[in-house]
């Protein structure tokens, strides 16, 4: 059993809801001047058909306009090249170029007239004979052999074209030195 006040307000609402489909299906009287469907505009010829616009009515001019598909803000390039980075050349390394000067130990220096020769040893104990002017390591050349040392000059180039010269001295260990 429903409460009396709820029934009082609910009854008119239910009646209106039941009558709504009949009201919507009936023709409206007095509103005949309102069009029920959209009428196409009449053309100049008076036939009622629309004529298509001329083919050259719109032309998109790209010249002087930005491309609409390019982003306004360019992303920062992830692979920025450092101008101070040393450029490695693709060269096949052979002979003493396979060893960097830090991997070798000077064990002997020989003088025979004007000819200067030195003997170096790798970490495994294998010995090699080097002369002035021989290439050693990726970028080095033996520039001078003295009585107790071998001087290696390494020359590298950066991306910007700057030449970097590094001098490495390999000293001969004497009997008491460690």
Whether 151 is in a domain gets the answer: yes
Beta strands (DSSP E) in the chain are: 105-112, 115-121, 127-131, 135-136, 140-145, 149-157, 163-171
Residue 142 is part of which domain span? Answer: 95-171
Q: What is the tens place of the pLDDT at every residue in 85-142?
A: 887 878 888 888 898 988 999 999 999 888 999 999 999 999 999 999 999 998 999 9
Spatial CB neighbours of 158, under 8 Å, sequence gap ≥ 6: 83, 84, 85, 86, 87, 164
- Find the CATH number of the domain harbouring 154: 2.30.30.830
The pLDDT score that the predictor gives to residue 77 is 60
Cβ pair 152, 143 in contact under 8 A:
yes
The pLDDT score that the predictor gives to residue 42 is 54
Whether 161 is in a domain gets the answer: yes
SS3 95: helix
Whether 40 is in a domain gets the answer: no
In angstroms, how far is CA 123 from the centroid of its own chain? 41
Of the candidates 140, 153, 149, the one whose C-alpha atom is nearest the C-alpha of residue 120 is: 149
How much is the average pLDDT of 142-166? Answer: 91
Lowest mean pLDDT among 35-49, 70-84, 85-99, 150-164: 35-49
Q: What is the tens place of the pLDDT at every residue in 56-82?
A: 777 777 788 888 888 877 766 656 777
Whether 178 is in a domain gets the answer: no
Whether 8 is in a domain gets the answer: no
Whether 159 is in a domain gets the answer: yes
The pLDDT score that the predictor gives to residue 79 is 62
The pLDDT score that the predictor gives to residue 41 is 56
Instruction: Count how many domains the chain has.
Output: 1
Whether 167 is in a domain gets the answer: yes
Greater confidence (91 vs 44) lies with 91
Whether 59 is in a domain gets the answer: no
């Amino acid at each position: 059993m429903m409460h009396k006040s709820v029934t009082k307000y609910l009854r008119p609402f239910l009646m209106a809801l039941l009558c709504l489909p009949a009201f919507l299906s009936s023709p409206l009287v007095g509103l005949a001047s309102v069009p029920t469907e959209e009428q196409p505009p009449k053309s100049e010829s008076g036939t009622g058909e629309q004529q298509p616009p001329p083919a050259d009515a719109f032309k998109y001019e790209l010249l002087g306009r930005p491309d609409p598909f390019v982003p306004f803000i360019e992303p920062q390039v992830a692979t920025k090249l450092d101008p101070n980075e040393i450029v490695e050349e693709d060269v096949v390394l052979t002979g003493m170029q396979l060893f960097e000067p830090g991997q070798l130990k000077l064990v002997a220096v020989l003088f025979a007239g004007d000819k200067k020769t030195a003997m170096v040893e790798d970490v495994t104990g294998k010995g090699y004979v080097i002369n002035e002017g021989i290439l050693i390591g990726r970028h080095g050349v033996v520039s001078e052999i003295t009585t107790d040392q071998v001087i290696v000059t390494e020359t590298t180039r950066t991306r910007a074209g700057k030449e970097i010269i590094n001098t490495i001295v390999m000293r001969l260990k004497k009997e008491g030195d460690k």
